[in-house]
Amino acid sequence: MKNNPLDYLTASMVISYDCPRKFYYEYVEGWRPIRSSANLVFGGILHDAVAEEFRNGRTAKDVFLKNWENAGELNYSRNDTHESLKEKALVLLELMRETTPYRRAKTVEKAYRTELPDGTIFKGRIDMIYDDGREEVLLDWKTASSSFHNSRPDLDDQLTAYSMLTGIPKVAYGVLLKKKKPEVKFFHATRSRRDYLDYQLKVMKVASDIESGFFFRKPSLYCSFCQFCPLCRNQRQKVKQNLKQAPVKDRYKGVKCERVETPIF
> 3-state secondary structure string, 139-152?
EEEEEECCCCCCCH
d(C-alpha 29, C-alpha 186), whole Å? 37
Mean pLDDT, residues 18-25 taken together = 97
Count of structural domains within the chain:
1
Contact by Cβ (8 Å): 146, 179: yes
Model pLDDT, residue 100 = 95
Taking 90 as the threshold, does the pLDDT of residue 109 lie above it? yes
Residue span of the structural domain in which 38 resides: 9-212
In a domain, 262, yes or no: no
Model pLDDT, residue 265 = 57
Question: Residue 1: pLDDT band by 50, 70, 90 thresholds?
Answer: confident
Instruction: Find the DSSP H helices in the chain.
Output: 11-16, 20-23, 38-56, 60-69, 82-97, 100-103, 152-155, 157-166, 193-212, 229-232, 236-242
With b for 16 or more beta-carbon neighbours within 10 A and e for fewer, the 85-102 pattern comes to: beebbbbbbeebeebebb
Mean pLDDT, residues 155-163 taken together = 96
Mean pLDDT, residues 139-148 taken together = 88
pLDDT in tens, 206-258: 999 999 999 999 999 999 999 999 999 999 999 999 999 999 999 999 999 99
- Identify the CATH number of the domain in which residue 55 sits: 3.90.320.10
Model pLDDT, residue 152 = 87
In a domain, 242, yes or no: no
In a domain, 157, yes or no: yes
In a domain, 97, yes or no: yes
Least Cα distance to 99 among 172, 174, 152 occurs for 174
d(C-alpha 255, C-alpha 237), whole Å? 38
In a domain, 247, yes or no: no
Model pLDDT, residue 147 = 78
d(C-alpha 128, C-alpha 107), whole Å? 6
Helix axes 60-69, 38-56, angle to 10 degrees: 140
pLDDT in tens, 33-63: 999 999 999 999 999 999 999 988 889 999 9
Taking 80 as the threshold, does the pLDDT of residue 146 lie above it? no
- Counting residues of the chain whose pLDDT is more than 70, the rounded percentage is 99
Model pLDDT, residue 235 = 97
Mean pLDDT, residues 77-97 taken together = 93
In a domain, 35, yes or no: yes
Model pLDDT, residue 263 = 66
Question: Residue 264: pLDDT band by 50, 70, 90 thresholds?
Answer: low
Mean pLDDT, residues 174-186 taken together = 93
Kindly tell me the number of DSSP H helices and DSSP E strands found in the chain: 11, 9
In a domain, 163, yes or no: yes
Mean pLDDT, residues 195-213 taken together = 96
In a domain, 71, yes or no: yes
Taking 60 as the threshold, does the pLDDT of residue 205 lie above it? yes
Least Cα distance to 26 among 9, 42, 49 occurs for 9
Model pLDDT, residue 24 = 98
